Amino acid sequence: MKWKLKDILMIAIVGVLFSFLFLGANELGVMLTAALTPAGYGPLGYQIIYGAWFMAATFATYIIQKAGVGILAEIIAAALETMMGSMFGPSAILSGLIQGVGCELGFLVTAYKKFNTFTMILSSVFCSVISFIFEYYRFGYGVNTKQMLVLMLLCRTISSVLLTGIASKLLADQLANAGVLRGYKLGIKQSIKKNETKGAA
C-alpha cells in the first residue's frame, strides 16, 4: 500500500490534537482517581477517560476509509508519545499496536465496506476489550477480584463507546460538513450525497 505524505502528516497532526483533548481529560482522570482512591477504586478513575486514547485511530479510519489506517494511526501516536517523553517509553509502541489491531477488527467485520455508527461502535468495543486483555497481562491485573475486573472493563468500554465510537464520528461528520475533508474519502462521499439531494430537489 502506498501512503501519501499528506496522509501521514494528517494522521500525526490529528494524533497530537487528540492528545490535547486527552490532557483535559487527564485532569478529570487525576481528580477521579484521587476521589476514588479512599474507597479502593482508584484505578477506575483513568478507565473512565480511557476512550480518549483510541479516538485518533477510529477518527482517521473513518475519514480515510482504508485498511491499516487504524494501526498506522496508533503507531504514529505512540511514536510521537515516545518522542515527547511518555512515561511508558518504548512499550507505548506495543500498546499502540494492540489498540490499532482492535480498531481494525471492528471494520474488518464488514470487510472494510461499511463505515458507519455501527462499525465505529464495534471498533471502539474491540479497542477497549483487546487493550484490556493486553493490560491484564502487562500490569498483572490477575490479582484483582472478578468484580473489580468487570467494573474496570465496563468503565473502559463505556468511555470507549462514547468517545471513540460516537464522539469521533460526530466530529468527523461535522468536519465533512464544513468542507474540510474534500481530499478524503469521507468528504468526497459527503459532497456526492449533497449533490444528489440537490439534484433531487
**Applying CB under 8 A, does 68 fall inside the site for other proteins?**
no
Q: What is the DSSP letter of 4?
A: P
Residues 6 or more apart whose CB falls under 8 angstroms from that of 199 comprise none
**Cα 71 from Cα 136, distance rounded (Å):** 21
**Of the residues 57, 144, 156, 166, which one makes contact with other proteins according to CB under 8 A:** 144
**Applying CB under 8 A, does 116 fall inside the site for other proteins?**
no
Q: Which of 110, 112, 131 is nearest to 54 (CA)?
A: 131
Q: Which of 14, 102, 7 is nearest to 50 (CA)?
A: 102
**Applying CB under 8 A, does 142 fall inside the site for other proteins?**
yes
Task: State which of positions 75-94 bind other proteins (CB under 8 A).
Answer: 76, 79-80, 82-94
**Applying CB under 8 A, does 154 fall inside the site for other proteins?**
no
**Applying CB under 8 A, does 105 fall inside the site for other proteins?**
no
**Applying CB under 8 A, does 30 fall inside the site for other proteins?**
yes
CB of 128 to other proteins, least distance (A): 18
